[in-house]
Amino acid sequence: MPATAPHALQAALPGLSNQALTLLFLGLALATFAWGFERYRTTFSRVEFAIAFAVGAGLLTVAFAPGLYGTLAGLLNLDSRFILIQIFANVTFLVLILYLVGRLNASQRTVSELTRSLTVRQATGDAALDERTCYVVVPAYNEADTIGDVLAALPDRIHDHLVTAVVVSDGSDDATQRAADRHDAIVVEHPINQGQGGALKTGFDIARQHGADIVVTMDADGQHPIDQLSDLIRPVVDDEADYVLGSRYRGEDNSGNSITRRGGIRTFNWLINRLAKTDITDCTNGFRAIRGARLGELTLTEERFSAPELIIESRKKGLRIVEVPVTIHEREAGETKKPKLGYAAGLARTILVTWIR
């Protein structure tokens, strides 16, 4: 008759004591959890993390409740050794799935890096000689109705810096690139959508290759106040800061955000401030200025939720961070590109992962 006692696995492995079996499966479970967390921390793969969590939970059950498997063997009239074989077979199968998912994610990252590398090569123009420069990076996805007005409003010079716009059309399927090409700007196109973070990285690479002294980021939808660009970059020009973030909560918020969204932003502000020891009031604002010479020090991997990553990375690398009040307006046209589902979870993940790494 099959073993049904809590020591059914010991019957299958008579050479090991109960304590040794518990320690063995506990060690395997902890190793699995650690591996899954590390993969999530470095690749953001929820699939790998979920599978690793499931495998680890199963191994913990084997470690601390082996009687469940003996009872199952009894109900099915099976030998306990068969149950043990099934456990190891399923673990092996899940490990193979993890390996394949890892390979797939690696391939996707390679494609993303290749896409951005090829896009950077599209950029034309030489670095300005003996000129201080401010490059304005504008990621744009299907913003044909607004990108022209944004570019037309940019000044030629500001604080004695030559202003150059860099538009990264992120796999747009409308006339965004053509609309931007009508203006004096560096315009490049991602053949595959890379997310706002991916578009920013492409723009940053172009700005750095051209020797930008200051790099500004702003949205293509007309919400960010170009008439306040001078106030935004002034702390960098005056050598009072290396990273300047515009804040609608120190200024004026006319963006039409709901009470729920405003409450969520304040929650994430609190989390970032506790973890990174900052005093940020508007962590999701994309209107920012960064000293070009410090930009290359930042480790940027996030493709979707880049705003908190930039803040925490800047804090970790010792950049001087200040906020200036700005007025955020409603979109001039079109619809927001922010995801309706998973936005809060994505921000929380980015904050914790960036802080830990």
Distance (Å, whole) CA 45 – CA 345: 14
How many CA within 13 A on the CB side of residue 87?
24
Q: Which of 220, 232, 111 is nearest to 168 (CA)?
A: 220
For the chain, the structural domain boundaries read 8-116, 128-356
- Please give the pLDDT value at position 305: 86
- Please give the pLDDT value at position 54: 77
**Residue 329: left (phi > 0), alpha (psi -120 to 50), or beta?**
beta
- Please give the pLDDT value at position 4: 40
Distance of CA 174 to CAs 149, 170, 178, 182, 186, Å? Answer: 16, 11, 9, 15, 18
Distance of CA 91 to CAs 4, 21, 28, 222, 357, Å? Answer: 22, 16, 11, 52, 28
How many CA within 13 A on the CB side of residue 232?
28
Helix axes 18-43, 343-356, angle to 10 degrees: 110
What averages of pLDDT result for each successive group of 10 residues across the chain (357 residues)? 45 59 79 75 65 78 67 59 63 73 75 83 73 95 94 95 95 93 93 91 94 95 92 97 94 69 88 92 94 93 89 95 89 56 80 83
Q: Which of 305, 233, 228 is nearest to 272 (CA)?
A: 305
- Please give the pLDDT value at position 28: 81
Q: Which of 146, 142, 141, 137 is nearest to 166 (CA)?
A: 137
Distance (Å, whole) CA 318 – CA 278: 11
- Please give the pLDDT value at position 357: 75
pLDDT digits (tens, 9 = 90+) for 133-162: 999 999 999 999 999 999 999 999 999 999
When the candidates are 3.40.50.2300, 3.90.1300.10, 3.90.550.10, 3.40.50.720, the CATH number that belongs to 128-356 is: 3.90.550.10
Distance of CA 9 to CAs 28, 76, 83, 94, Å? Answer: 16, 16, 8, 21
